[in-house]
Amino acid sequence: MSHTLFTSESVTEGHPDKIADQISDAVLDNLLANDPNSRVACETLVTTGLALVAGEVTTESYVHIPDVVRGTLARIGYTNAMFGIDATTCAVLTNLDQQSLDIALGVNTGGAGDQGMMFGYASNETPELMPATIQYAHALTQRLAEVRKSGEVPWLRPDGKSQVTVEYDGDRPVRVHTVVISAQHNEDVRQSDIVETLTEKVVKAVIPEHLFDDKCILHINPTGRFVIGGPHGDAGLTGRKIIVDTYGGVGRHGGGAFSGKDATKVDRSAAYAARWAAKNVVAAGLAERCEIQLAYAIGVPQPVSIRVNTFGSSEVPEGEIARAITEVFDFTPASIIERLGLRSPIYTPTAAYGHFGRTPERRRPTTGGDEVQFFPWELTDRIEDLKTAIGS
């Protein structure tokens, strides 16, 4: 097998686009907490000293949007105007209208909220059944936030990025070839200290030892300075990190973003369902890699097409896997929402560090209320059903 390189990136929760995603999902969660049937399509723009929230919402609930915006910014760490935006003093503008009644005609009867295609993917190259490149890139950005918030690295600021290049022997990861980290920092820290600290406390703390060797190339703050960042360095918009949100460029993407959308939007719910199905296929040992495409017509409940691709990694014919998937999983929007509990306020944690490859867990939402299942599409709870459907 030939040796090849593949690269994926991640960004921290303080990246401008991720700030926007988290605000949009926080608005969604707060609306769902009071009215689980809320229809939400919420978009956010952040720039220096300003957050603008716009979109279409139909709900029986009321949420004070400025409080949600300021609370999200404070949680991330934007509590100082020098960082580009201050949760206490920034301007917050809102422009929310009612969802189109024409769209509601199709959704109210259980149909898809829009047309489009969605992809789900899984691979056995990591324990999370995710591509190694994106899984390690997310781990690096999560670690940056962890050492910043704990005070272990006090000169870090919220904005940051990571990038991981993995060397593969065929489909098997054999080593991490290159790591790139760009981390926002205070003015008075030296570049040599940044490199040494982030190498020891972030890179070596995250990259598995069996994949990290002395030949690994490290680019840490390669420009030599990253003081101006956050919304001051670059405006942020909801939905601009769709590859970071999914599989890091491995597999395909239907083009639809997730954050700020309630589960009647199949851009979100069907992408979650496709990941759920693909992950169970790989977890069941039916394939080493699996990609599932779903496609919908607006107002129509059943997918117009379902396609399974195992990239030659299964001894079971793809047609048999596709038949088993359609027997085990119901991909109508109403069923996806019910089976995965997607009317619960579980979305804000998805808006940074990826929607997939996370540990499913039961806990209380930040909006209050009873415990609910977070990341339910990561459950491998259909393994035996798939094996039975296949007949093995």
* Active-site position among 43, 114, 167, 378: 43
Gyration radius of the chain's alpha carbons: 21
Stronger pLDDT, 5 or 61, i.e. the higher one: 5
Q: Considering 18, 275, 289, 355, which one is annotated as catalytic? A: 18
Per-residue pLDDT, 392: 61
In the predicted model, is pLDDT for residue 114 greater than 90? no
Q: What was the pLDDT predicted at 376?
A: 98
Question: Which of 143, 148, 265, 382 is the catalytic position?
Answer: 265
Strands 172-185 and 217-220: parallel
Structural contact between residues 4 and 168, judged by C-beta atoms closer than 8 angstroms: yes
Please give the pLDDT value at position 108: 77
Q: pLDDT tens across 232-269, in order?
A: 999 999 999 999 999 999 989 999 999 999 999 999 99
Percent of the chain scoring above 90 in pLDDT: 91
Q: Which residues pair with 8 in a beta bridge?
A: 164
pLDDT of 145 > 90? The answer is: yes
What does the pLDDT look like over 290-344, one tens digit per residue?
999 999 999 999 999 999 999 999 989 999 999 999 999 999 999 999 999 999 9
Name the catalytic one among 6, 9, 13, 17.
17
pLDDT the model gives residue 149: 97
Q: Is the pLDDT of residue 1 over 70?
A: no
pLDDT at residue 10, rounded to an integer? 98
Q: Residues 35, 56, 330, 385: which is the catalytic one?
A: 56
One-letter amino acid identity for 270?
A
Confidence of residue 113 (pLDDT cuts 50, 70, 90): confident
List 54, 104, 205, 235, catalytic entry: 235
Is 279 known to be catalytic?
Answer: no
Terminal C-alpha separation, the chain:
30
Tell me the C-alpha distance between 56 and 100, whole Å: 8
Question: What are the φ/ψ torsions at residue 285 (nearest 5 degrees)?
Answer: 80, 15
> What is the overall mean pLDDT for the chain?
95
Strands 85-86 and 91-97: unpaired
Q: Is 234 one of the catalytic residues?
A: yes
Catalytic residue among 6, 83, 119, 226: 226
Q: Taking the model in full, what pTM does it have?
A: 0.96
- Per annotation, catalytic residue among 70, 175, 240, 275: 240
Average pLDDT over residues 77-90: 92
Query: Does 83 have pLDDT greater than 90?
Result: no
CB 11 within 8 A of CB 231: no
- Catalytic option among 35, 234, 318, 330: 234
Q: Do residues 242 and 12 touch, judged by C-beta distance below 8 A?
A: no
State yes or no: pLDDT of 102 exceeds 90. Answer: no
240 is catalytic: yes
pLDDT 10s digits, 208-227: 999 999 999 999 999 999 99
Across 270-285, average pLDDT: 98
The reply to whether 97 belongs to the active site is no
Question: How far apart, in whole angstroms, are the C-alpha atoms of residue 302 and residue 331?
Answer: 7
pLDDT at 111: 86
Per-residue tokens: 377: 């599409």
Active-site residue, from 157, 175, 185, 261:
261
Annotated catalytic residue within 143, 232, 241, 279: 241
* pLDDT band for position 135 (cuts 50, 70, 90): very high
Query: Mean pLDDT, to the nearest integer, of 133-161?
Result: 97
Active site residue 215: no
CB burial of residue 225 (10 Å; 0-12, 13-18, 19+) = exposed
> Catalytic residue at 267?
yes
pLDDT (tens digit, 9 = 90+) per residue, 172-222? Answer: 999 999 999 999 999 999 999 999 999 999 999 999 999 999 999 999 999
